[in-house]
Structure 1
Amino acid sequence: MSGPSGGAGRRRGRGGRRTPMSEINVTPLVDVMLVLLIIFMVTAPLLASAVPVNLPDSRAKPIDTEEQDPIQLSIKGDDTLYIGEEEVRETELPARLEAIAAADANSENPRQIMLRADKSLDYGRVMRVMGELNRAGLTRIALVTTGSETDR
Structure 2
Amino acid sequence: MAMNPAAPSSGGAGRRGRRRSQPMAEINVTPMVDVMLVLLIIFMVSAPLLTVGVPLDLPQTQAKSLEQDKTPLQLSVDVQGRVFINDTEVTMADLVPKLKAITDARGGLDERIFMRADKKADYGTVARVMGQLSGAGFKRLALVTEVDQGT
- TM-score bracket for the superposition, by shorter chain length: 0.5 to 0.7
Q: What's the TM-score once normalised by structure 1's chain length? A: 0.59
On the 8 A contact 1:76/1:117 being kept in 2, the answer is yes
On the 8 A contact 1:101/1:136 being kept in 2, the answer is no
Identity of matched residues, %: 38
- What is the alpha-carbon distance in structure 2 between the residues aligned to residue 111 and residue 134 of structure 1? 13
The size of the alignment, in residue pairs, is: 108
What is the DSSP-based 3-state SS (H/G/I as helix, E as strand, rest coil) of the residue aligned with 1:91? Answer: helix
User: 1:6-29: per-residue Cα shift (whole Å, max 9, x none)?
Assistant: xxxxxxxxxxxxxxxxxxxxxxxx
Bigger share in helix: 2
Shift of 1:104: 4.3
User: 1:30-75: per-residue Cα shift (whole Å, max 9, x none)?
Assistant: xxxxxxxxx8xxx59x62x32101111111122232x221111111
Q: What's the TM-score once normalised by structure 2's chain length? A: 0.59
Superposition CA RMSD, Å: 2.8
Query: Which has more radius of gyration?
Result: 2
User: 1:124-148: per-residue Cα shift (whole Å, max 9, x none)?
Assistant: 3212111122222222211111111
What is the DSSP-based 3-state SS (H/G/I as helix, E as strand, rest coil) of the residue aligned with 1:68? Answer: coil
Match of residue 58 from structure 1: 61
Match of residue 116 from structure 1: 116
Unaligned runs of 5+ in 1: 1-38
What is the DSSP-based 3-state SS (H/G/I as helix, E as strand, rest coil) of the residue aligned with 2:98? Answer: helix
